[in-house]
Amino acid sequence: SVVTNEKLKNELVELDKKHFIHPTSNMKQLQEEGPAFIFTEGDGIYLKDVEGRTLIDSLSSLWNVNIGHGREELGEVAKEQMGKLAFTSAFSNWSHEPIIRLAAEVAKWTPGDLNVTFFTSGGSEANDTAFKTVRHYWKINGKPEKKKIISRKKSYHGVAMGATSATGIPEFHTFTTSIAPDFYYVDSTIESLKEMIEKEGADTIAAFISEPVQGSGGVNLPEDSYFKEIRKICDENDILIISDEVICGFGRTGTNFGMENFGIVPDIITMAKGVTSGYAPLGGMVISEKLHKEIYEKTEGNFWHGYTYSGHPTAAAVALKNLEIIENENLIENVRTMGKHMLEGFEWIKEQNKQVIDVRGIGLLGAISLERESADVEPVTPKIVAEALKRGLICRAVVYDGQDTLAFAPPFIINKEQMDEMITIVNESIQAVL
Ligand code: PLP
How far does residue 219's CA lie from ligand 1's centre (Å)? 14
Counting from 1 in the atom list of ligand 1, the atom nearest the Cα of 283 is 15
3-state DSSP assignment of residue 1: coil
CA of 128 relative to ligand 1 center, distance in Å: 11
User: Of 192, 174, 171, 196, nearest to 183 (Cα)?
Assistant: 196
Cα 419 from chain centroid?
22
Once rounded to an integer, what is the mean pLDDT over residues 387-409? 96
Identify the three-state secondary structure at position 145. coil
Predicted confidence band at 224 (pLDDT cuts at 50, 70, 90)? very high
Q: Distance, CA 217 to ligand 1 centroid (Å)? A: 12
Nearest residue CA, atom 13 of ligand 1?
123
The tens digit of pLDDT for each residue in 148-190 reads: 999 999 999 999 999 999 999 999 999 988 999 999 999 999 9
Testing ligand 1's pocket by substitution, the residue of 59, 61, 64, 124 carrying the most ligand atoms inside 8 A of its CB is: 124
pLDDT band for position 1 (cuts 50, 70, 90): low
Cα-flanking dihedrals φ and ψ of residue 273, to 5°?
20, -85
- Ligand 1 midpoint to CA 156 (Å): 7
Whether 123 is in the pocket of ligand 1, judged by its Cβ within 6 Å, is yes
Asked if 432 and 86 touch (Cβ cutoff 8 Å), the reply is no
Query: Measured from the CB, is residue 396 less than 6 Å from ligand 1?
Result: no
For residue 55, the SS3 value is: strand
The secondary structure of 181-218, three-state, reads CCEEEECCCHHHHHHHHHHHCHHHEEEEEECCCECCCC
Sheet harboring 405-408: ordered strands across?
A: 356-362, 365-370, 405-408, 396-398
What is the distance in A from the centroid of ligand 1 to the CA of 123?
A: 5
Work out the angle at residue 226's Cα, subtended by the Cα atoms of residues 182 and 161, and round it to the nearest 5 degrees: 25
Cβ contacts of 70 within 8 Å, gap of 6 or more: 41, 42, 43, 44
C-alpha 255 – ligand 1 centre gap (Å): 19
**What topology does CATH give the domain 37-67+330-433?**
Aspartate Aminotransferase, domain 1 (3.90.1150)
pLDDT of 2 strictly over 90: no
pLDDT digits (tens, 9 = 90+) for 403-431: 999 999 999 999 999 999 999 999 999 99
**Least confident among 2-6, 75-79, 247-251, 336-340:** 2-6
Please tell me whether the interface predicted TM-score (ipTM) of this complex is above 0.85: yes
211 lines ligand 1 (CB under 6 A): yes
Burial environment of residue 110 by CB neighbours within 10 A (0 to 12, 13 to 18, 19 or more): buried
How much is the pTM?
0.98
Q: Residue 247 is which amino acid?
A: I
pLDDT digit string (tens) for 16-60? 999 999 999 999 999 999 999 999 999 999 999 999 999 999 999
- The C-alpha atoms of residue 167 and residue 179 are separated, in whole angstroms, by 10
Domain locations in the chain?
37-67+330-433, 72-328
428 Cα–ligand 1 center, Å? 31
The CATH fold assigned to 72-328 is Aspartate Aminotransferase; domain 2 (3.40.640)
- Cα–Cα distance measured from residue 17 to residue 361, given in angstroms and rounded to the nearest whole number: 37
Q: Whose CA is nearest to atom 8 of ligand 1?
A: 158
Does any ligand 1 atom lie closer than 6 A to the CB of residue 247? yes
CB atoms within 10 A of CB 300: 5
For position 9, what pLDDT does the model report?
A: 95
